[in-house]
Amino acid sequence: MALHNMTTCDVRNIVAKVDRLQRLAVFESAGRLGSFSAAADELGMTQPAVTRHIRSLETSIGHTLFIRTSNRSRLSDAGAVLLSAVGEGFDAVERGLDKLDHDVETFELATGPSMAQFILVPMLDQLQNAIGEIDVRMTIFDGRRTFDRSRYDAVTQLSPAPGPGVCNDLLFPEVVVPVASPGLAQRLGLNARSSPEDLVAAPRIHEVEGHREWMSWDGWFATNGVDLPDRQRRVLFNNHPLVIQQAIAGAGVALGWRFLVDQLVADDLLVHVGQPTPTGKGFYLTWPSTVSNDRSLRVAEAISNYVNSLDLTDGTSTSAAKIAEPQSA
């Protein structure tokens, strides 16, 4: 067939509509961070430059992407649609770049800071044996932000929402228990049989509301049928390992995750000062159905075996807590 008779391919719509693709990166940053100034800081630009890029993008595609008021901007409906699409596209490009950057096969495991510090790091040998003769890359993610779990070979999550093409395996239930240093517990006359009422007057260590998914002190007392008096003056932390470190230092009573703090209890760094409270949730290992099912199951089994090997003192065992399991697609 002669070349002049061949059908010519149209240029991609994204190239035709968006003359400078950098504007999509600026838009994605502003939409994800919720602020033009934050996007400017992230991208090393000035805020007026961010504004110009987004206005030019709006002009080129013929849609208003942000609703602007006197003191803030928020995504429009069209902006939300485009942000979702651009985010998915960037994630796909980043996965491709990751593959180019890593000639050595790796197992990508994403996890929260508490799970990493209290369980996965102490059991690295068992974890490596379960994964096999390849590198392990552990990524610590911030539970406050959504992330694309399909980017990883496996993710540890608290009661993840089911989704298409996602497998999961229960690691252990979420059980919340008050803990304190042995010295503080002795001074306050607290032990594992202490009632919730016994803890009302105790100094308590708090985590910032919304920075974790487990029970707050208000929720723990409410679940245990106790009405609190006027709220204490509080120091709040946004990191669970830091809360536990403060408890070890004797600063107050903390709400700890059973199975995450059990080794600290076994090492006499903490003691239970109240009864465990199951939340009905559980920690799961999730992984895309497109990756090795056998390897992920071996990882889940290794974590569960390690947790069960800890000195589980007074409290709820794995088999005792009823967990609402997410359904695999």
**CATH code of residue 78:** 1.10.10.10
Structure tokens at 216: 């707050």
Q: What's the predicted TM-score (pTM) here?
A: 0.58
| Cα 247 from Cα 270, distance rounded (Å) | 8
- The CATH number for 168's domain is 3.40.190.290
The rounded mean pLDDT for the chain is: 80
Q: Which of 99, 116, 141 is the last residue of a domain?
A: 99
pLDDT at site 2: 38
Q: What is the domain extent for residue 22? A: 3-99
Summarize pLDDT for 307-317 with one digit per residue, the tens.
888 755 444 44
In 102-216, where does DSSP find H-type helix?
113-115, 124-131, 182-188
| Cα 77 from Cα 139, distance rounded (Å) | 32
In the chain, where does DSSP find H-type helix?
13-17, 22-33, 36-43, 47-61, 77-101, 113-115, 124-131, 182-188, 217-223, 240-248, 262-266, 293-309
Summarize pLDDT for 148-181 with one digit per residue, the tens.
667 788 999 888 777 778 888 999 888 889 999 9
Query: Are residues 122 and 91 both part of a single domain?
Result: no
* Residues above pLDDT 70, as percent of the chain: 79
Query: Are residues 218 and 163 both part of a single domain?
Result: yes
Interval 227-249 mean pLDDT:
79
Query: Are residues 274 and 239 both part of a single domain?
Result: yes
Query: Are residues 13 and 128 both part of a single domain?
Result: no
Query: Are residues 146 and 81 both part of a single domain?
Result: no
- H/E stretch holding 12: none
pLDDT at site 269: 93
pLDDT at site 126: 92
DSSP state of 328: P
Spatial contact of 136 and 109, defined as CB atoms under 8 Å apart? yes
Q: Which of 99, 121, 152 is the last residue of a domain?
A: 99
Query: Are residues 83 and 172 both part of a single domain?
Result: no
Say how many domains are in the chain: 2
Spatial contact of 267 and 201, defined as CB atoms under 8 Å apart? no
pLDDT band at 43 (very low <50, low <70, confident <90, very high): confident
pLDDT at site 181: 96
Query: Are residues 77 and 170 both part of a single domain?
Result: no
What residue type is 83 in one-letter code? L
pLDDT at site 143: 55
Query: Are residues 161 and 212 both part of a single domain?
Result: yes
Indicate if the alpha-carbon torsion angle 109, 113, 114, 120 is positive or negative. positive
pLDDT at site 187: 95
Q: What is the dihedral of CA 112, 117, 118, 122, to 10 degrees?
A: 130
Query: Are residues 125 and 262 both part of a single domain?
Result: yes
| Cα 246 from Cα 237, distance rounded (Å) | 10
Spatial contact of 128 and 85, defined as CB atoms under 8 Å apart? no
Q: Which of 74, 99, 124 is the last residue of a domain?
A: 99
Query: Are residues 31 and 144 both part of a single domain?
Result: no
Summarize pLDDT for 10-27 with one digit per residue, the tens.
556 666 666 677 888 888
* Residues above pLDDT 90, as percent of the chain: 16
Query: Are residues 123 and 206 both part of a single domain?
Result: yes
Interval 281-304 mean pLDDT:
86
Summarize pLDDT for 209-218 with one digit per residue, the tens.
654 555 688 8
pLDDT at site 147: 57
Query: Are residues 247 and 209 both part of a single domain?
Result: yes
pLDDT band at 322 (very low <50, low <70, confident <90, very high): low
